[in-house]
Structure 1
Amino acid sequence: MSTQSTACIVVFKDHATQDQIDRYAEQINGGGGAVTARYDSVLKGFAATLTASQLQSFQGDDIIQYIEPDQVITIAPPGSDVQ
């Protein structure tokens, strides 16, 4: 059994209810993953660390719009003086 986990952002489709999103969050937290941030006011979703089995089971789920890696993106090298 793999203990590998992946930091992801999970975004739900517009028709997803808050109760449905909460159930997914509970499933993650109770199944070896961890919800690390909620984005209820920005979009319907959250950041989470998912186990490999959670990631696999969520992919293609009809209530989830997309899952993408949670990563830092920069447009200029750190410390540069670009404005």
Structure 2
Amino acid sequence: MSQSRSIIVFKESASMEDVRHLMDEVKQNGGHITNVYDSLFKGFAAVMSDTQLHTLQSAAKFRSSVIDYIESDGIVTTFA
């Protein structure tokens, strides 16, 4: 099963309880939380199955969703 590294960003109206609830859901389905963001924005980074990622992406499309958007997580390098 293929795995994806993603950053899930929540809407400003989302509570930290909303964030914790979704993090628990990711972990219960075999995903791993790699970072939690709560200062500049509310969200977390996770490694999860592609199936789980697609489920979150589908949920994010609903207006009532607490998810603002989902981005791929990766390493960024610069060259001078």
TM norm structure 1: 0.82
1:49 equivalent to 2:47? Answer yes
**Structure 1 outlier segments of 4+, above 2 Å:** none
Equivalent pairs, count: 75
Task: Give the equivalent residue in structure 2 for 1:36.
Answer: 34
- Distance in 2 separating the partners of 1:8 and 1:70: 5
Within the candidate set 71, 74, 79, 1:71 is matched to 74
- Distance in 1 separating the partners of 2:77 and 2:54: 28
From the CA coordinates, give the structure whose radius of gyration is larger: 1
Q: Which runs of 5+ in 2 are unaligned?
A: none
Q: Secondary structure at the match of 2:27?
A: helix
- Distance in 2 separating the partners of 1:55 and 1:5: 9
Q: Secondary structure at the match of 1:26?
A: helix
Q: Letter of the aligned partner of 1:56 in structure 2?
A: H
- Distance in 1 separating the partners of 2:48 and 2:40: 21
Q: Which runs of 5+ in 1 are unaligned?
A: 77-81
TM norm structure 2: 0.84
Q: Percent identical across equivalent pairs?
A: 33
1:37-80 CA-to-partner distances (Å, cap 9, x unmatched) read 1011231001100212211111142221111111111221xxxx
